[in-house]
Amino acid sequence: MKKYVKNVIPVPHLYMRENVLEKGNIPGVAGDKAEWAKNLNLPREAEYMFFGGCGYQFMRYVEGMMKAAAGMEKVGFGREAGIGISKMFGKIGIDLPSITAKVAAAGQEDTYTRILVSAVRVLRKLGLDIGYMHEDEPCCGSPLYYSGFLDDYIEHAKENVEIFKSYGIQKLIGLIPACTASLRDHYPKYVEGYNLEVYHFIEIVAQRLRKADLKPRLKERLSVAYHDPCQLSRYLEIIDAPREVLASIDGLEL
């Protein structure tokens, strides 16, 4: 990228762009993205394909990297300096971001994997035929779109659609609202002939509970307050489904 552009675009944005395009995830951490699903026996072909998204798959590493970055800032190294150091190590074959992220995440409770596993179990419990692309699942590219790298996003979307076609996918269920909005609303604008059916997890759950007249039950009564996530409510315009699901649970007070 030209030097004058670097002076306009924040370095962390350029770093994120490089990670998504070259490593397939936002933090640029090398590793098995499908590790979370290793005990679920998810097939590669099914009526519905589950799209985990690199957010939940790599978020535990992002937290570790943020802690490491905060530590560097305390001793006088800013984020741009940290990125520069990472690139310098990369030139000699040392993947510093991956090492730092995994060391920082070691021993910490991994709530994100639990969320992914629980989502699949819920969908299966509701009778859905669920598959997963495993290591072939791409990053949806939404960070590129929201950061203004539109040309990169369009090219990335076209490449992803070819991957979906190779799997024969017709229906996708997303868990992360930003990923789901990207796949459902943005891809059709830029990829000719795009015809995948894309749903968010919570609307599928609401539909299935309604259709089967099921009423989940808690072992102990619980009172909760629900906050509408911005992406889910404003981009996907999914507002009623979460409340419908919560209201259907016996023992839960909304």
113-125 per-position pLDDT tens digit: 899 999 999 999 9
Could you tell me the residue range of the domain that residue 234 belongs to?
Answer: 3-253
* φ, ψ (nearest 5 deg) of residue 109: -65, 130
pLDDT at 98: 54
- What gap in Å lies between CA 19 and CA 22, rounded to an integer? 5
225-245 per-position pLDDT tens digit: 999 999 999 999 999 999 999
62 vs 165, higher pLDDT: 165
pLDDT at 92: 47
Domain count, the chain: 1
pLDDT at 198: 98
Residue in 182, 144, 125 with CA at minimum distance from that of residue 22:
144
Q: Which of 42-51, 69-78, 169-178, 225-234 has the lowest mean pLDDT?
A: 69-78
Where does the pLDDT of residue 77 fall: very low under 50, low under 70, confident under 90, or very high at 90 and above? very low
For tokens 């911005």, what's the residue? Answer: 230
pLDDT at 100: 54
- What gap in Å lies between CA 162 and CA 160, rounded to an integer? 5
6 vs 235, higher pLDDT: 235
- What gap in Å lies between CA 239 and CA 233, rounded to an integer? 5
